[in-house]
Amino acid sequence: MLKIRGLKKKFKNFQALNGLDMEIEEGALYGFVGPNGAGKTTAIRIITGLLLPDEGTVEIGGKDALRYREEVKDDFGYVPDEFGMYDNLKVWEYMEFFASCYGYSGLVARERCTELLKQVKLDDRADAFVDSLSRGMKQRLCLARALIHDPKLLVLDEPTSGMDPRTRMEFKELLKELCAEGKTILVSSHILSELSQMCTDIGIIDAGKIVLSGNMTEILQKVNDSNPLLIKVYEHREAAIKMLRQDPAVKTIAIREDDIAVRFHGGHEAEADLLRKLVTAGIPVSGFIREQGDLESIFMQITNHDKGKVVLTSEE
Amino acid sequence: MKNNPVYKRERMVRARSFRIPLIIFAFNGILALAALLNMYQTVAQVRLSSTIQYGSFLQLYAFVATLEFLLLMFIMPALTSGSISGERERQTLELLFTTKMSPKDIILGKLFSAVEQLLVLVVSSLPVVLLTFVYGSVDFMDLCLLLVCFVTVAFFTGGIGILFSALIRKSTFSNVCTYGVLLLIVVGTYMLNIFMLNMNELQINNMIMQFGETRPVADTGFAVYLLLLNPVATFAEILGNQVSGGAGSLSISSFFGSDINGFLARYWIPISLLVQMAVSVMMIGGAVYALNPVKNEKK
């Protein structure tokens, strides 16, 4: 759906994008993550035609978005970090105004607006003035506005910043719904936990280029595999440690309160085999689990310019 | 234009506001009161002295025309100079750029809605202006010329406002620049011409003292061409031709010197109106160019 190759952009002495490559499959909910100043907004502004790159290509739905800027406007909807509201318009007027900006008018526009307002649960506020809406409502209205021309790709720049947890949760559900309907969604954020909960794919940008990208489950699996096994034994801890030391797949052993943290290089089968050995040796195992990896740790590793990258590369 | 979403939105918001009907009511109320008092005074004079002063109706015409001209010249920049920068400040401009709206649509939508807003005021006051027709001396063509001048000044001052609004991010600064440039055009060109005229007169007097030459009439040279950009000069010429005195005292005839019957002097009004319209089109074009989000960048 979206293909970016070798995108470069320099602002005076600052290299905002430095050969950004990115690809988003149709129907994906892609989390675009990076620290402040990594180049997320610059990339998004180029994708949406608000900025031209110094080098590189952007394709939306197979069309060159830099050359056919006007044509691709039908293919994407944009939700910026600032909502962009006309406070003196009513909710339905705001929607109809943007519908007319895409050439929709009359009954077609009205029906589309009603449908979208219903989808974002603002149909009961259609006659309210925009300035009377809460921040969460404004964000939902902004999302409905971006969907007015039924685009295939939705681009959202930090959409949940400044929202309370409940509104954030509702918004995430809305995005998941849209994704299930077949929309491709690119959502940038620096709040990693919320992206890990909803995205199907993720791209981590740092210093103007993607440093890690792929399917979320695979990435988390990769992180999980590099995490230690936490083994809890009811008694005979020393015997258990002695036995673990003899296993060639065990690299390091550490004691963490009641747990034995084992850096174990092996798949699920090897894990099961280790557990079986312990139980057969008469060691009462009360807990045996892989420590869950999270996106925060990957992000911290990758965007920590010295050691982070090395750790991840060696794991890969 | 009626299908331009920006124009339609501006109209809708304006129609909802109580401000415009109130301004129209107050403006026309004052004008109507002035006209009625004027008529009462004329009739009272007829009763007392059996003479009628038709000139007072012309003064009323000049008064209303001048008021409307000033209104257009000073309110149009206020309406337009914050129009684009206001969208930018509200963060809605970039949203418009991602839609099918072109910079031209946005600029024209904003400009025409502002022009329309003031022309409604002008048209609504036409009945008072047309009271002059009761006693004659100003005909229909005079009125048409005045309306052409109003439309021109609306686009000219609106063009300055919208150009700065597209160029400058902050509405306040855009406002200051617009009025600054307008002041430069209106007062600056007059001042320059007066200065040039005085200098030329001094030079001539000097020549007479030195060589005893026959006294030629002083003129302002090239500076007179700059007055083609000055809407006040055009309006003064139009009103000066229709009604003596008043704004006619700002007449530019003295700046031509011996060339008073030249082509430019004879066709000053249509030429200046054309020049101002052309400059307005250029300023609107400049605003459209300035608004293009990727204008200065190359792929």
The domain spans of chain A are: 2-215, 222-313
Which residues from A are below 8 Å from B16, CB to CB?
88
Of B154-158, B186-190, B242-246, give the lowest mean pLDDT range: B242-246
B16 contacts A88? CB cut-off 8 A = yes
Q: Which residues of B touch A (CB under 8 A)?
A: 3, 5, 8-9, 12-13, 16, 90-92, 94-101, 293-294, 297-299
Q: Is B76 a residue whose pLDDT tops 60?
A: yes
Span B27-33, mean pLDDT? 85
Q: Is A294 a residue whose pLDDT tops 80?
A: no
10 Å Cβ neighbour count for A255? 10
Closest to B103 in 3D by CA, of B84, B125, B122 = B84
Span B62-86, mean pLDDT? 87
pLDDT for B103: 92
B12 contacts A76? CB cut-off 8 A = no
pLDDT for A199: 86
pLDDT for B288: 94
Contact A50, A68 (CB under 8 A): no
Quick check: ipTM above 0.90? no
Q: Work out how many domains chain B is built from and give that number.
A: 1
How does residue B2 score in pLDDT terms, banded at 50, 70 and 90?
confident
How does residue A1 score in pLDDT terms, banded at 50, 70 and 90?
confident
How does residue A310 score in pLDDT terms, banded at 50, 70 and 90?
very low
Query: A220: part of which helix (H) or strand (E)?
Result: helix A216-226
pLDDT for A100: 93
Q: Hey, is A264 helix, strand or coil?
A: strand
A49 contacts B98? CB cut-off 8 A = yes
Q: Which residue has the tokens 């909807």?
A: A77
**For residue B289, what are the domain limits?**
5-298
Q: Is B296 a residue whose pLDDT tops 60?
A: no
Q: Is B240 a residue whose pLDDT tops 60?
A: yes
List, in order, residues 6 or more apart from A310 with CB less than 8 Å away. none
Of A20-29, A58-67, B36-45, give the lowest mean pLDDT range: B36-45
Q: Average per-residue pLDDT in chain B? A: 84
Helix axes B231-242, B189-211, angle to 10 degrees: 80
pLDDT for A215: 86
Pairwise CA distance, residues A243 & A188, whole Å: 47
Among the residues of chain B, which ranges form H helices? Answer: 5-16, 19-49, 55-80, 83-89, 93-97, 103-124, 126-129, 140-167, 171-183, 189-211, 223-226, 231-242, 263-266, 268-291
Q: Which CATH superfamily is domain A2-215 in?
A: P-loop containing nucleotide triphosphate hydrolases (3.40.50.300)
Which residues from B are below 8 Å from A51, CB to CB?
293-294, 297
pLDDT for B276: 95
* Segment A41-94, tens digit of pLDDT: 999 999 998 888 998 999 998 888 888 888 888 899 999 888 788 888 999 999
Contact A283, A236 (CB under 8 A): yes
Q: In chain A, which residue's Cα lies nearest the Cα of B89?
A: A84
Which residues from B are below 8 Å from A60, CB to CB?
none
Pairwise CA distance, residues B9 & A306, whole Å: 54
10 Å Cβ neighbour count for B283? 22
Span B250-255, mean pLDDT? 68
Q: Average per-residue pLDDT in chain A? A: 84
Contact B65, B146 (CB under 8 A): yes
Closest to B34 in 3D by CA, of B71, B72, B66, B73 = B66
Q: Hey, is A35 helix, strand or coil?
A: coil
Q: Is A315 a residue whose pLDDT tops 50?
A: no
Q: Does A84 touch chain B (CB under 8 A)?
A: yes
pLDDT for A302: 66
Q: Does A296 touch chain B (CB under 8 A)?
A: no
| Strands, E assignment, A158-306 | 184-189, 201-206, 209-215, 229-233, 250-256, 259-264, 285-290
A84 contacts B13? CB cut-off 8 A = no
pLDDT for A62: 86
Q: Which residue from A73, A93, A97 is facing B100, i.e. has the nearest CB?
A: A73
Q: Is A306 a residue whose pLDDT tops 50?
A: no
pLDDT for B28: 87
Question: Vertex B235, ends B76 and B63: CA angle to 5°?
Answer: 85
How does residue B186 score in pLDDT terms, banded at 50, 70 and 90?
very high
pLDDT for B6: 93
The residue of A17, A100, A153 whose CB has the most chain B CBs within 10 angstroms, and thus the best one to mutate to test that interface, is A100
Decide if domain A222-313 falls under CATH 3.30.70.100: yes
Q: Which residues share a beta bridge with A262?
A: A229, A253
Span B246-251, mean pLDDT? 54
pLDDT for A314: 29
Pairwise CA distance, residues A65 & A186, whole Å: 16
Prediction pTM value:
0.81
Contact B148, B114 (CB under 8 A): no
pLDDT more than 70, % of chain A: 90
Q: Is A153 a residue whose pLDDT tops 90?
A: yes
